[in-house]
Amino acid sequence: MHKRSFVLILLLLMQAWGPLLAQTPPKTAEGTESPGMLQNLAENAREAKRKIESVGGVLMDFAGAYYEDNIQPVTGGYFEWASNARRSFWEKLWTTVDNYNRYKTTNTTV
């Protein structure tokens, strides 16, 4: 009687053990277990980052081409005007400062 119950329990354990063994990660070539859950998550994050960067590069190329074709021709004149206005302001300022210094030095020597 004990042998029959032992065989029955052994068969039930083998039935339950099969799916559990199928779920365990396989051993690697070194004989150690495969990477843990955090290492798998880190690798998945690195892979996702690489994919996002590649898509981002394509989007940046598209945005650069769109800027050169559509935005730069419209705004180029405004940038040039602002640059000329800034340059003119600084030239006037330094001319005024230089004239003031010359006037100041000629007054003190008299």
SS3 of 1-48: the string is CHHHHHHHHHHHHHHHHHHHHHHCCCECCCCCECCCHHHHHHHHHHHH
Q: How far apart are CA 31 and CA 8, in angstroms?
A: 33
DSSP letter at 110 equals: -
Query: What confidence tier does 89 reach under pLDDT thresholds 50, 70, 90?
Result: very high
Q: At residue 110, does pLDDT exceed 70? A: no
pTM of the entire predicted model: 0.33
Confidence of residue 90 (pLDDT cuts 50, 70, 90): very high
pLDDT at 33 over 70: no
